[in-house]
Structure 1
Amino acid sequence: MTLTDTVPPHAHTAHIDPLVFREGMSRLPSGITLITTGGPAGQHGFTATAVCSVSDTPPTLLVCVNRNTSAHDHILAHQCLAVNVLAQGQEHLCSAFSSRKYTMAERFALAHWQTGTTGAPLLEHALVSFECRISRVIDTPTHSLILATVEHVQWCTTAEKGLVWFQKNFALTQKINT
């Protein structure tokens, strides 16, 4: 059972121009993920950078899902999701999963997928994939904040660089020897 909380629409009023906020946030590098789900209504997914670790006991991720995203209601209905972290060379998937000009079938046809134990599609050759069940949803006026308990983790042993979004463009991670 998912617990749902609601944040009042005007709990805190910010006085920062949204464009200024977006420009500032563009300087915070973010991993690029494909959030996917599967179930009776089929496969659905979208590109997200608003994902972070909450805890390792139990392993939990926070996934922020825009309520206008076509996959939003399917994720909540299926009660499961996968967080597929993109690697170098998967930029085309980021673009396709963030564009409304592609149908879900067309998006998923661009890569090879495995079906996880929850039914969520797992991207082959992703840097890492986290298969999760939804444990709690916090509703805000624009997004659902999903706390997802991780049930399975798999990673690609050949992918060397992660794909990130930085200053409104793709960038790659690089290890620094210290």
Structure 2
Amino acid sequence: MLAPETSAYRDTMAKLGAAVNIITTGTLEAPVGFTASAVCSVTDTPPTLLVCLNRNSRARAAFHEGSALCVNVLAAPQQDLAGHFASPLTMEERFARGHWSSMVTGAPVLNEAVATFDCRISQIVEVGTHSVMFGVVAALRSHETHGGLMYFNRSYHTLPAATA
């Protein structure tokens, strides 16, 4: 069985919408972060999610088994921040924007994020061009003030805030 062409696969994957996240590790003094949409839940017992990171990313070396991994789910007004963290800027320049704190693991937490999953990396699996990092959740935080930011068909879209 032949695999689809890479370009056809990418074009079709563009139709699979996803939340936009800033993934962080390190500490507030030495932060590392990148923008990702390849994030999903694995199981709720124990609460675990996965994050995919391109193996050529300069952020990759900072992520290793046992280290912190924080998923900061972006709010609709944070589209510029998503682009900022996807750019060739230095880590210092990236973290100059937003308000940052930490939770249990010490990884940088974006205070304005819609949701935060503060995790420890339990396993990293190398698959093709990407590292798949599994994070066991140590702490959670969520805010209902803004809608979410989605990436679909190669562009950003906003979702409305939750209504009571």
Task: Tell me the TM-score normalized by structure 2.
Answer: 0.91
**Structure 1 stretches of 4+ moved >6 Å:** none
Q: Distance in 2 between matches of 1:131 and 1:64?
A: 16
Aligned equivalent of 1:171, options 149, 157, 162: 157
Q: CA RMSD in A?
A: 2.1
SS at match of 1:15: coil
Distance 1:16 1:91, change over 3 A: same
SS at match of 2:104: coil
**Residues 38 and 78 in structure 1, CA contact (< 8 A), matched pair in contact too:** no
Report the Cα offset of residue 144 of structure 1. Answer: 1.2
Matched, 1:37 2:25: yes
Report the Cα offset of residue 156 of structure 1. Answer: 1.7
SS at match of 1:92: helix
Aligned equivalent of 2:143, options 131, 142, 156: 156
**Residues 145 and 161 in structure 2, CA contact (< 8 A), matched pair in contact too:** no
Matched, 1:66 2:54: yes
**Structure 1, 167-176 or 49-58: larger mean CA deviation:** 167-176
In structure 2, the residue matched to 1:49 is: 37
Q: How many percent of aligned residue pairs carry the same amino acid?
A: 40
Q: Deviations over 1:66-123 (max 9, x none)?
A: 11111111021771110000011101111011111x1111110111111222110000
Task: Tell me the TM-score normalized by structure 1.
Answer: 0.85
**Structure 1, 125-134 or 39-48: larger mean CA deviation:** 39-48
Report the Cα offset of residue 175 of structure 1. Answer: 7.2
Distance 1:41 1:114, change over 3 A: closer
Q: Distance in 1 between matches of 2:14 and 2:81?
A: 20
Distance 1:149 1:78, change over 3 A: closer
Report the Cα offset of residue 147 of structure 1. Answer: 1.1
Distance 1:39 1:125, change over 3 A: closer
Matched, 1:127 2:82: no
In structure 2, the residue matched to 1:90 is: 78
- Of structures 1 and 2, the larger Rg is shown by 1
Distance 1:85 1:146, change over 3 A: same
Q: Deviations over 1:18-43 (max 9, x none)?
A: 11111111111110000001149811
**Residues 113 and 143 in structure 2, CA contact (< 8 A), matched pair in contact too:** yes
Q: Distance in 2 between matches of 1:120 and 1:14?
A: 42
**Residues 84 and 130 in structure 1, CA contact (< 8 A), matched pair in contact too:** yes
In structure 2, the residue matched to 1:76 is: 64
Distance 1:23 1:40, change over 3 A: same
* Letter aligned with residue 109 of structure 1: A
**Residues 39 and 78 in structure 1, CA contact (< 8 A), matched pair in contact too:** no
